[in-house]
Amino acid sequence: MLTPLSLGSYRGRFAPSPSGPLHFGSIIAATASYLDAKHHQGIWLVRMEDIDTPRVVAGADTDILKTLEAFGLEWDESVVWQSKRHTFYQEVLDSLTQNQQVYACQCTRKQIKQRGGFYDGHCRDLKLCNQSHALRIKQCFPIHSFEDGIQGQVHCSDHLACEDYIVKRSDGLYAYQLVVVVDDYLQNITHVVRGADLLEPTARQISLFQQLNYPIPHYAHVPLAVQKPGFKLSKQNHAPAVDKNNPAPALLAALQFLGIEPDNHINVNNVKELLNFATKVYSRDKIAKTPEIVVKLSEAGYQFTVSAS
């Protein structure tokens, strides 16, 4: 039986996927998560979400950790890698299977798109073999809305809330929605501060926490840094890596993105001094309540206006 660690009052985490180096958007999310934890005298963890092995880039995890260190974002406990935790995920899947809460599905993305774009429960009663197909969970706790610590009340479509979603892929890989919930439970994560690209998936994670009878973390989603509306800075979009040899400019820009403007007496070229100041004055109320903020990258640095895009 899965047993979480002894509970702390605040336990946050940053969970990057090692599919490439950290970019400005990643640093915003990491810094927000770190500051939220440290401002509340909490524990801050780092977890490598390398469960999607085809997307993993060799050496990216080491580079990410070195970048976090360069930015002064030091974690409090040992880093964990999802790729080394398959036993935990399978244990949960076995329990769900025994309780008839998952089922095999043979539907392709093309077929689902032809039927309207959302999965309609087509395979629920077919009793297909679990070994050769994806596994979907029977949605027992649909979440139609939830309160986010930054974005406020978030409403979800009925399709998203009620859909039976995949918890293990047909290629044998465990799905993100399953592993992130299991990991947050086992690490006793109490607060999740991350980018707004994961705003809607949060509804499914809350529902799975309920289905597994796990305590639900508090969620807060910071705006995404986007190159233009709907086009976020990301590894897939070839966003440039931050400079870990000269981290102060990117850290300063990340703090300004989060609504923190250092006083005149702060040395903006000193990472430790910047973080110490930011930890004291940090507040979620300073962060813009918008899903996106347009950022222009140039040789002069990061340029943006904190307003709805």
The total number of structural domains in the chain stands at 2
Terminal C-alpha separation, the chain:
46
Q: Is residue 227 in some structural domain?
A: yes
Q: Is residue 98 in some structural domain?
A: yes
Q: Is residue 294 in some structural domain?
A: yes
At residue 297, the pLDDT reads 75
Distance between CA atoms of residues 251 and 246, nearest Å: 10
Full domain range(s) for residue 169: 86-176
Q: Same domain, yes or no, for 157 and 192? A: no
Both tokens of residue 153?
């009340």
Q: Is residue 209 in some structural domain?
A: no
Q: Same domain, yes or no, for 66 and 107? A: no
- Would you tell me how many other CB atoms lie within 10 Å of the CB of residue 257? 24
At residue 8, the pLDDT reads 63
Q: Same domain, yes or no, for 64 and 105? A: no
Q: Same domain, yes or no, for 245 and 162? A: no
Whole-number CA gyration radius for the chain = 20
> Is 69:36 a contact under the CB 8 Å cutoff?
no
Q: Is residue 167 in some structural domain?
A: yes
pTM value? Answer: 0.92
Q: Same domain, yes or no, for 193 and 172? A: no
Q: Same domain, yes or no, for 51 and 194? A: yes
pLDDT in tens, the chain (309 residues): 566 655 569 999 999 999 999 999 999 999 999 999 999 999 999 999 999 999 999 999 999 999 999 999 999 999 999 999 999 999 999 999 999 999 999 999 999 998 888 899 999 999 898 778 999 999 999 999 999 999 999 999 998 899 999 999 999 999 999 999 999 999 999 999 999 999 999 999 999 999 999 999 999 999 999 887 767 776 666 678 899 999 999 999 999 999 999 999 999 999 999 999 999 999 999 999 999 998 887 766 777 766 543
Q: Same domain, yes or no, for 52 and 194? A: yes
Give how far the C-alpha of residue 116 lies from the chain's centroid of Cα atoms, to the nearest Å: 27
Q: Is residue 205 in some structural domain?
A: no
Q: Same domain, yes or no, for 50 and 192? A: yes
At residue 309, the pLDDT reads 39
Q: Same domain, yes or no, for 54 and 194? A: yes
Is the sign of the CA dihedral 93, 98, 101, 106 positive or negative? positive
Q: Same domain, yes or no, for 194 and 299? A: yes
Q: Same domain, yes or no, for 239 and 292? A: yes
pLDDT tens digit sequence for 168-181: 999 999 999 999 99
CATH assignment at residue 300: 3.40.50.620
Distance between CA atoms of residues 189 and 307, nearest Å: 30
Q: Is residue 74 in some structural domain?
A: yes
3-state secondary structure 195-233: EHHHCCHHHHHHHHHHHCCCCCCEEEEECEEEEECCEEC
Query: What percent of the chain is helix, strand and coil (3-state, nearest 5)?
Result: 35, 20, 45
Q: Is residue 5 in some structural domain?
A: no
Q: Same domain, yes or no, for 74 and 112? A: no
